[in-house]
Amino acid sequence: MTPSIDSKRFWLRRAGYGLALGVAIALLEFAYYYPLVSTPGRLGAGLLASVLLPWCGEGVLLAVTVGLFELRQAPRPLGARQLALAVVVGSLAGVLAWQAFVQFVLRERFGIWLLRDYVGQPVEWAGIVLYNVWLMLLFGGLAAAVYFSRQRHARMLAVLRAAELDREASKEKLAQARLASLQARIDPDFVFQTLSRLERLYEADPPEADRVLEELIVFLRGALAEVRAIPGQ
Amino acid sequence: MQLGLRLPDFVGRRNGGAVLRRIWWQSLWRGGLIALAVVFVLSTQFLFQLDLYGTWPLPDILHGWLDYFLDLLTVGGCIAAAVAVAASLRIGSGAISHVLLLSSIALGALAGEALLLLRAPLPPDVSSAGVLFAKVARWVVFGVLTYAAYVYQRRAAKAASQAHESELQRIQLERQMSEARLQTLLAQIEPHFLFNTLANIHRLYQTQPGLGRKMLASFVAYLRAALPGMRSDETTLGQEVDLARAYLDVLQVRMGERLRFLLDVPGELGALPFPPLALSTLTENAIKHGLNPLPEGGSIEIRARVDNLELRVEVADTGAGLRQTGGSGAGLANLRARLAALYGEMASLDITANVPRGIRATIAIPVRRA
């Protein structure tokens, strides 16, 4: 799930997640405030400036912060506690930076009206920051939880796949070992009966017995070589 | 649907009613807890309104929070009920079930928010439909994220438990495999020993036929003792001692004066169970690594005693001793592994120096009457 962590793709992907989160919250916020706006015709720059821009920016900053935490922790995955810390730090940093930009630069220097101006709600810096931090923590935290769970799921699947492969390999090796064990056995009854017969034969016909013993030794030498050649030992 | 709540699964089984009731309550309980947690977290939004704190006294703020919480709880309850109903319908799988769940969240939220609107209508200049849409959208996003996290966590837990299961099976297979390898090893020792002994007999018959005959007879006696026990999992101490005696008899023919041996095993211990070829392994080691390297040979003493519910069998030789023993590691490690497999922690194999020289190997196993 977490490939080469300093690759461009990693950061692009993080930024994409953040952007998606920001757009989602922006849409929700817009839907929330839109019915309260009495003169919808004049919305425009203010909508972009006070909703889409800061939320997207905050989302990306949050995602990048999580990415930085991941980078610090790599190659180990983020734990739940570090993820929570990353979300809190990222949310605070994102909201403070972007709301400062919106309030003090866009609104006060360039005179762009924000959504709240249209609604007629007070535009207080601290109040807005507090509200945005709450929303960001809530949705960012949930999104991070989803992301974290998905990663954990993928990791567990990989572990499962590896364990199953190991098990199959063991099964195969066991079958081989059993086969080898069967092959290695020399029928004990055969040896025993041959030797008993040999004992009697030595009484009756020693030269013939000598010949039989020699053959038996040759046979055993062959059997030994075969046993030694069994693979997997 | 991954909520563990499928009514039709349990219909038509024996005791289906009881199972159904238990599963139903369990998932209701779990779903209710999740909904409660979600609602509580959402309600904290109320506390993040800065303008409250300047104008309202604290009890009023807390009261307002409670009101807000109850409002949210109404909607959360509607959503939980809708999801429970959707999960109990066994419709489709994969994408279809996800869509079904999504719409159940939306419908539940719609119903809950509509209830709230009925109780406290909006000012006339605000579009109810717009407010309703915004609120439902927020619930849907929140619900979907919660659901996704929950599903992934559950799947991860399932995969983890399956991996654990698979690992356990693998360990079992490994154990069976070492058993099979052990069998192979045992089977390999036999032809080797056979081969060497027969070659010796053959040579003896060429030079000293009398000795050759004696050795062949001893060897047949050895095989007679060895064959029944060689493949089985457990023999008796008596059989093992007979085997060791036959083996030493065979070697006595070959080594003559270089080998003296003494077996001191009380007859009443003969019936005690004993691992097969354990004594033979120690005896063979004593010959191969102890006595064989020495031109003057030596003696081997085999003793068995029961002490404190423990059977101790020792093989002591006056051979070359610990330092000269090279290559006996595999046989002993093998024996150790077999003892561990049969008795676990309760068995032991100790190798110490013998006085005045040589090695003393002691097997200790718990006494179990055959």
pLDDT digits (tens, 9 = 90+) for B231-252: 555 678 888 888 888 888 888 8
Query: pLDDT, tens digit, for every residue of B3-43?
Result: 433 434 433 444 445 655 666 677 778 778 888 888 998 89
pLDDT at B23: 65
In the numeric block, which tokens belong to residue B133?
């849409």
Query: pLDDT, tens digit, for every residue of B353-365?
Result: 888 888 999 999 9
Higher pLDDT, B45 or B17: B45
Assess B161–A contact: CB distance below 8 Å, yes or no.
Answer: no
- State which residues form the domain around A203: 185-228
Q: Is B184 close to A180, i.e. CB distance below 8 A?
A: yes
Q: Is residue A178 part of a domain?
A: no
Assess B163–A contact: CB distance below 8 Å, yes or no.
Answer: yes
What is each CA distance from B274 to A181, B236, B278, B279, in whole angstroms? Answer: 23, 5, 8, 9
The minimum CA-CA distance between B225 and chain A, rounded to whole Å, is 11
Q: Is A159 close to B180, i.e. CB distance below 8 A?
A: no
pLDDT > 50? residue A229: yes
Residues B327 and B312: beta-carbon distance below 8 Å = no
Q: Is residue A192 part of a domain?
A: yes
Mean pLDDT score, A149-176: 89
d(CA B274, CA B238): 9
Q: Is residue A102 part of a domain?
A: yes
Q: Are residues A45 and A103 in the same domain?
A: yes
Higher pLDDT, B2 or B278: B278
Query: pLDDT, tens digit, for every residue of B262-292?
Result: 999 998 888 898 887 788 888 888 888 888 8
In the numeric block, which tokens belong to residue B60?
């009023």
Q: Is residue A177 part of a domain?
A: no
In the numeric block, which tokens belong to residue A34?
């839109």
Cis-peptide into A75, omega within 30 deg: yes
Buried b (16+ CB within 10 A) or exposed e, B251-265: bbbbeeebbebeeeb
Higher pLDDT, B219 or B304: B304
Residues B271 and B310: beta-carbon distance below 8 Å = no
| Signed CA dihedral, B97, B98, B103, B109: sign only | positive
Q: Is A166 close to B51, i.e. CB distance below 8 A?
A: no
Q: Is B145 close to A145, i.e. CB distance below 8 A?
A: yes
Q: Are residues A33 and A98 in the same domain?
A: yes
pLDDT > 80? residue B352: yes
Mean pLDDT score, B327-337: 69
Question: All domains of chain B, ordered by start, with CATH?
Answer: 7-170 (no CATH), 208-366 (3.30.565.10)
Indicate whether this complex's ipTM tops 0.90.
Answer: no
Q: Is residue A176 part of a domain?
A: no
Query: pLDDT, tens digit, for every residue of A116-159?
Result: 777 777 778 888 888 889 989 989 889 989 988 998 899 999 99
Higher pLDDT, B214 or B164: B164
pLDDT > 70? residue A4: no
DSSP reduced 3-state for B325: coil
Residues B350 and B361: beta-carbon distance below 8 Å = yes
Q: Is B195 close to A217, i.e. CB distance below 8 A?
A: yes
What is each CA distance from B188 to B185, B195, B222, B337, in whole angstroms? Answer: 5, 11, 17, 17
Q: Are residues A137 and A194 in the same domain?
A: no
**Total domains in the fold of chain A:** 2
Q: Is residue A82 part of a domain?
A: yes
Mean confidence (pLDDT) of chain B: 81
Q: Are residues A197 and A99 in the same domain?
A: no
Please report the beta strands in chain B, taking only residues with DSSP state E, as ranges in sequence order. Answer: 235-236, 259-264, 273-274, 298-307, 310-317, 348-353, 359-366
The minimum CA-CA distance between A226 and chain B, rounded to whole Å, is 10
Q: Are residues A194 and A155 in the same domain?
A: no
Report how many Cβ contacts below 8 Å link chain A to chain B.
200
Q: Is residue A123 part of a domain?
A: yes
